[in-house]
Each structure stands twice: as C-alpha cells, then as structure tokens.
Amino acid sequence: MGSLPRKLILATSFVLLFGCGWFVASVLQQKNSQARTLSSVRNQSTIMMEKHLMPVTVSIVVVGEIPEESGELVTIKGQIKTPFDDFNSISYHWNLDESIEIVKGQAKGDIANPTAGHVYEVELIVKNFDKQYRKEINLQAYVFDTDGVKLGNSTVITSRPEDAMEHLAPMMMVKAQEAAAIKNRMPASEEEE
C-alpha cells in the first residue's frame, strides 16, 4: 500500500515534467516561426501589388530600390494582362502624385490586339519618387466589352511601402496571434480584470 502513493507521485511528476517540456518547446517553435515570417516580410526586395479575377490584371513592379532622397531616377514597370482574346485593345493610364515627374515613358497609351495570357509591360522612368515622403503611383488599365461597357482594374504602389496596409497587415496578424496565445495561457480570473 505504501508504494501506490509513491508510484502515483512519480507518475504525476513525470507527466508534469513532460507536459512542461512540451509546452516550452511548442512556444519556442512558434516564436521562431513568427520571427521567420516577420523577417521574410521585411526582406522583400521586389515590391509587387496586384488584383486578380478581373478581365484585366494590373501590377506594378519597382525595379531596384526606392531612393531615400528626392532627385534620383526610378524605373517603374507596369504589367498588364488579360485572360481573354475578345478585346481590340487595352487602354492604360498612369496617375502620379504631383511632385513625381516622368522622365521617360508615356502617361497613357493603348495595347492593340492583346493576346490572352500575354503580359504586356509599360515602363516609366520617374524622378522624385522617394522615401522622404509618402507618394503614390497608380496604374489603371481597362477594356470595353461588346456592349461598350468599360471594364477595368487598377493598382497602386507607394514610395513608403512600410507604411502601406499591405506591408503592415502580415505583421499585425503575427501580433494578434501572439496576443491570442498569451490570452489562451492566462487563467480565467486574470482575463476578467
């Protein structure tokens, strides 16, 4: 009879030790995973924003780095694509903040007889698109259907992507997951305070 409580104490101790070790290992693994997610978001060298499921898809790519100061030249590539062969042309139009100057390229144009699935590039070289202040460049592309209805799409890129919601959202999600994990570990009496 004396060995039963002893076996129970040993078994309970083993379960507690194993449980604590497993808990610490899972928390460390989760933190490492979140750190990798944050570092991958921060280290993106190509900034690309795009909308899907439209008769025209539009994306913008900044070639190289966005300069810190005004005056340097930046190459901006717009990529336009349609999944259909039904359109005679795709029209596009760049919209830039007033302080941004086009050095080379056209602010608007048409792509005649577009082929489905082909990516058409329209390129601008601009001046004063820098990280000093938040500035935006927008590219709109549109087609007309057989009834003459204008169908289009657009995308925007900012000179300070770290301030854009697309950049902040993944980090906000990691923070929310961390807060939820902390809340789930809290005893019920602490949550009510």
Report yes or no on 6 lying in a domain: yes
Is this model's pTM higher than 0.85 or not? no
Structure tokens at 115: 């082929």
Q: Are residues 19 and 93 in the same domain?
A: no
**34 or 66: whose pLDDT is higher?**
66
- Alpha-carbon gap, residue 169 to 185, rounded angstroms: 24
* In a shared domain, residues 113 and 152: yes
Same domain, 58 and 25: no
The values of phi and psi at residue 47, to 5°, are -100, 120
21 with 87, same domain: the answer is no
Asked whether residue 29 falls in the same domain as residue 61, the answer is no
* CATH number of the domain residue 116 falls in: 2.60.40.1510
- Establish if 177 belongs to a structural domain: no
In a domain, residue 145? The reply is yes
Ramachandran bin of 123, using left for φ above 0, alpha for ψ from -120 to 50, beta for the remaining angles: beta
Q: Judge if 141 and 74 occupy the same domain.
A: yes
Domain count, the chain: 2
Please tell me the predicted confidence (pLDDT) of residue 147: 84
Q: In this model, does residue 158 exceed pLDDT 80? A: yes
- Cβ–Cβ < 8 Å for 48, 59: yes
DSSP summary character for residue 159:
S
Let me know if residue 168 belongs to a domain.
no
For residue 151, give the nearest of 110, 95, 93, 90 by alpha carbon.
90
Q: Does some domain include residue 171?
A: no
Same domain, 21 and 104: no
Q: Is residue 174 in a domain?
A: no
pLDDT exceeds cutoff 60 at 60: yes
Neighbours of 155 (CB within 10 A): 19
Q: With respect to residue 188, please indicate whether it lies within any of the assigned structural domains.
A: no
For residues 165 and 179, the model is more confident at 179
Whole-number pLDDT of residue 179: 82
% of the chain surpassing 90 pLDDT: 37
The whole-angstrom separation of Cα 62 and Cα 95 is 15
Neighbours of 73 (CB within 10 A): 14
> What is the structure's pLDDT at 5?
72
The reply to whether 99 and 118 lie within a common domain is: yes
Which pLDDT belongs to residue 177?
83
> Which pLDDT score is estimated for 103?
96
Q: Report the pLDDT averaged over residues 41-66.
A: 68
Q: Tell me: do 99 and 20 sit in the same domain.
A: no
Clarify whether residues 16 and 65 are in a common domain: no
Has residue 192 been placed in a domain?
Answer: no
Residues 19 and 80 in one domain: no
Across 114-143, average pLDDT: 93
Which structural domain, as residue segments, surrounds residue 133?
48-161
